[in-house]
Amino acid sequence: MARGLLHALAGAALGAVAARAAYTLLTRNRPQDPGDRWTRKNHRGEPITLLEGPAFVAGAAAATALAPGLPARARMAALLAGGGSGALGAYDDLYGTTSSKGFKGHLSALARGEVTSGAVKILGIGATGLGAAALVSHGPADTLVNGALIAGSANLANLFDLRPGRAIKVGLLTGGPVLAAALLRGRPAAAALAAVPLGAAAALLPDDLGERAMLGDAGANALGALAGLAAVTTLGRPGRLAVLGTVAALTAASEKISFTKVIAGNPVLNRIDMLGRRPVDAV
């Protein structure tokens, strides 16, 4: 466990430092101009940068490349899962349209012969998820389950990126127990894989909560994919199937209900969601 803890601390520290450095470089001397393609309006109608997402992707990738104790295949899987989903998310951030929404909407459009940016992202993340899973799995069945978990987690994380800090909080709250499980099970490589995105996300949380930046599709997809990969390398098959079922159920539920309304209507969830944020009615 001691070796795993050292690897986890190193991974988290590398992730945090690299993500902050990338964010500083990307946003230096770059005002939030409404005409800038990386600028969006948040839920208050205020300008906010999406460059937090590329900063997370770059920071997590650099930390993964440098983190000690990672076997080559696990390192490659993390780079593929995080980098691939992040690049596809960035494509949707920059060139996406709102003509179709949700998993069902994009696939329905694809069935009609309309290739939306969202459909490209869904199919691409599915492919990168399977590719990453193939590097750390044992056999075709295992690869399919793990690939679905990685891709599904990438998509689900993005559904929470609607309010300041929400997607990162979900990532920390779900990734923390996976990291603890990796440490308790004596899996230092899995602990390092889990720690890198946690460190990178935590380092960017203040700017997210301060409504200066948001993960966007690039960052949220990458955070979810890396969290899914950490679960894949930590949990046994029953645990992975349980997580996959939860991811699938939440994704299906998102087509019918608003996560924001559910969170706002639950006192505990709402308190966690508002922690560190400006009041909803603040201007």
- DSSP per-residue codes, the chain: -HHHHHHHHHHHHHHHHHHHHHHHHHHTT----TTSTTEEE-TTS-EEESTHHHHHHHHHHHHHHH-TT--HHHHHHHHHHHHHHHHHHHHHHHH--SSS-HHHHHHHHHHTT---HHHHHHHHHHHHHHHHHHHH-SSHHHHHHHHHHHHHHHHHHHHTTTSTTHHHHHHHHHHHHHHHHHHHTT-HHHHHHHHHHHHHHHHHHHHHHTTSB--HHHHHHHHHHHHHHHHHHHS-HHHHHHHHHHHHHHHHHHTTS-HHHHHHHSHHHHHHHHTTSPPTT--
Return the pLDDT at 76.
Answer: 97
Return the pLDDT at 113.
Answer: 60
Q: Among positive and negative, which fits the CA dihedral 112, 117, 120, 122?
A: negative
pLDDT digits (tens, 9 = 90+) for 202-251: 999 999 999 999 999 999 999 999 999 999 999 999 999 999 999 999 99
The C-alpha atoms of residue 226 and residue 256 are separated, in whole angstroms, by 27
Q: What residue ranges of the chain have pLDDT lower than 70?
A: 32-35, 97-115, 117, 280-283
Task: Tell me if 123 sits within 8 A of 154, measured CB to CB.
Answer: no
Shortest CA distance to 126 belongs to which of 80, 79, 76? 80
Which amino acid is it at 135?
L
Return the pLDDT at 112.
Answer: 62
Size of the chain, expressed as the number of residues it contains: 283
Return the pLDDT at 283.
Answer: 45
The C-alpha atoms of residue 87 and residue 183 are separated, in whole angstroms, by 30
Alpha-carbon distances, residue 219 vs 97, 140, 210, 214 (angstroms)? 18, 29, 17, 8
